[in-house]
């Protein structure tokens, strides 16, 4: 049944239904409502979990690391500077192959200080070895949590994941969301039963040091597990569709792609506004489509190059910038399409909460048609 609720509360409810046993988090705008709601559920016996209050994000993820190693289903949430403070622990969690799920309410990184949305925070951790999912709306944001636990706890994967949804734009938006019920979630998500865990009766260490004879191979194995998780995501998405009707089998999703000459590629909530803009452009005869990237890690190179094969030109929207280079998504797409004749144009857009409107999407399509790309879109020249 559809219910109208705030994105953060919808995510908190989905997390509750996943039955996490340990939650450790530190509040930070715009993630706060999620962890407040979960703390409330634990305090009021609606969720049987240990909620560990900590003094920083570094401690939050460290507590999660220990709990996950001890065999608990573990959850955290953060954003922006909070995620930056977790940087070291993120690499440890992934290297120890612990399936922690963490919601990122995407927000810009300072300085200058900004509480508003872009995706610089999670993108900056693209090399940390976590899976990364990006949600277009709050339905997808909730559903991706079930899928993330299911995929990450699969022994073949054994990796952590970020479930990213745009701060404020989704986290603080009230809109209809269909929630699953406990019996259905229990059917989809078996108990977390890792083969090895911290246990005083059967001691084991996690994340020991690796000499140069081994480190290289550990990284190879980690990379392979992350790449191979693509097949597990596909299976988990298909199973989800069979049970609940919504399809997450693919890591990318096309919108009016078939005959599209210009294809916009984007991640997150910007895809909704883009679809509305595409409908209007289609009505005037422009052959435009969208390819939404739902999974950024593992990067779906194969799916992407297949989906984009028929396009004349690609306009990539990046709510991030690898300073000194280009937008992260544009770089990856160029790599995926290397050797093909399709032109790829990158646009940095919507940083630090700059609003993105339908007319912006149309203007970007016009720029791509003129062959102008690799720019910061919509600069206010008067302040430069």
For residues 137 and 153, which CB has a smaller minimum distance to another protein in the complex? 137
Q: Which is nearer to another protein, 54 or 115 (CB)?
A: 115
Going by C-alpha positions, the residue among 46, 335, 49, 8 that lies closest to residue 175 is 8
Residue 299 C-beta: closest distance to another protein, Å: 25
For the record, the structure tokens of 317 come out as 């929207």
Nearer Cβ to another protein (115/342) = 115
Tokens of 269: 């909530």
Of the pair 21, 139, the CB lying nearest another protein is at 139
In the bound state with another protein, the residue whose beta carbon lies nearer, of 63 and 105, is 105
Question: How near is the Cβ of 275 to another protein at its closest, in Å?
Answer: 5
CA angle 3-293-99, nearest 5°? 75
Give residue 10's Cα distance to chain centre: 16
Task: Extract the tokens encoding 363.
Answer: 């203007």
Give me the residue label for tokens 């209809």. Answer: 176
Three-state secondary structure call for residue 138? helix
CB of 32 to another protein, least distance (A): 11
Q: Which two tokens stand for residue 226?
A: 């992350």
Number of other residues whose CB lies within 10 A of the CB of residue 186:
14
Minimum CB–partner distance for residue 244 and another protein (Å):
17
Q: Measure the CA–CA gap between 91 and 237, rounded to whole angstroms.
A: 26
Count CB neighbours of 208 within 10 A. Answer: 8
Pick 176 or 190: Cβ nearer another protein: 176
| Closest to another protein by CB, 172 or 197 | 172
How far apart are CB 150 and another protein at their closest, in Å? 25
The sign of the torsion formed by the CA atoms of 310, 313, 319, 321 equals positive
**Residue 153 vs 360, nearer CB to another protein:** 360
Return the axis-axis angle of helices 7-17 and 32-43, rounded to nearest 10°.
40
Nearer to another protein, 147 or 271 (CB): 271
For residue 70, what are its two tokens? Answer: 């001890």
- Nearest approach, Cβ of residue 170 and another protein (Å): 8
Helices assigned H by DSSP within 215-349: 215-244, 270-283, 301-307, 328-336
Q: How far is the CB of 168 from another protein (least distance, A)?
A: 7
The DSSP annotation for 247-265 comes to ---SSEEEES-TT-SEEEE
CA–CA separation, 323 and 360 (whole Å): 23
Residues 6 or more apart whose CB falls under 8 angstroms from that of 120 comprise: 108, 109, 319, 320, 321, 351
What residue ranges bind another protein (CB under 8 A)? Answer: 4, 6, 29, 111-113, 115, 137, 166, 168-170, 172-176, 269-270, 272-273, 275-276, 355-358, 383-384
CB of 276 to another protein, least distance (A): 5
Which one-letter DSSP state was computed for residue 372? -
Q: What's the closest the beta carbon of residue 359 comes to another protein, in angstroms?
A: 9
């Amino acid at each position: 049944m559809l219910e109208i609720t705030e994105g953060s509360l919808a995510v908190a409810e989905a997390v509750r239904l996943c039955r996490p046993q340990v939650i450790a988090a530190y509040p930070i705008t715009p993630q706060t409502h999620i962890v407040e709601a979960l703390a409330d559920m634990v305090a009021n016996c609606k969720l049987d979990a240990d909620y560990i209050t900590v003094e920083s994000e570094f401690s939050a993820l460290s507590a999660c690391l220990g709990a996950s190693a001890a065999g608990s289903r573990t959850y955290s949430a953060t954003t922006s500077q909070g995620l930056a403070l977790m940087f070291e622990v993120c690499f440890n969690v992934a290297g120890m192959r612990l399936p922690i799920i963490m919601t990122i309410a995407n927000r810009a990184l300072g300085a200058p200080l900004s509480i508003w949305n872009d995706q610089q925070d999670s993108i900056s951790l693209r090399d940390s070895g976590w899976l990364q999912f990006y949600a277009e709306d709050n339905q997808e944001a909730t559903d991706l949590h079930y899928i993330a636990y299911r995929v990450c706890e699969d022994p073949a994967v054994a990796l952590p994941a970020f479930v990213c949804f745009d701060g404020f734009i989704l986290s603080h938006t009230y809109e209809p969301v269909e929630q699953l019920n406990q019996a259905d979630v229990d059917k989809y998500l078996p108990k977390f039963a890792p083969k090895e865990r911290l246990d005083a009766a059967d001691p084991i260490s996690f994340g020991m040091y690796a000499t140069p004879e081994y480190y290289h191979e550990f990284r190879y194995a980690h990379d392979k597990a992350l790449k191979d998780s693509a097949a597990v995501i596909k299976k988990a998405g298909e199973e989800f569709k069979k049970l609940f009707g919504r399809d997450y089998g693919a890591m990318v999703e096309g919108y009016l792609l078939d005959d599209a000459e210009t294809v916009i590629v984007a991640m997150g909530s910007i895809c909704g506004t883009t679809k509305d803009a595409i409908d209007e452009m289609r009505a005037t005869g422009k052959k435009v489509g969208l390819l939404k990237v739902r999974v950024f890690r593992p990067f779906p190179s194969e799916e992407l190059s297949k989906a984009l094969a028929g396009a004349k030109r690609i306009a990539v929207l990046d709510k991030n910038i690898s300073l000194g280079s280009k937008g992260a998504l544009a770089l990856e797409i160029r790599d995926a399409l290397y050797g093909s004749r399709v032109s790829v144009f990158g646009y940095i857009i919507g940083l630090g909460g700059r609003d993105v409107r339908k007319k912006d999407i149309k203007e970007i399509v016009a720029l791509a048609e003129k062959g102008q790309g690799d720019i910061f879109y919509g600069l206010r020249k008067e302040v430069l």
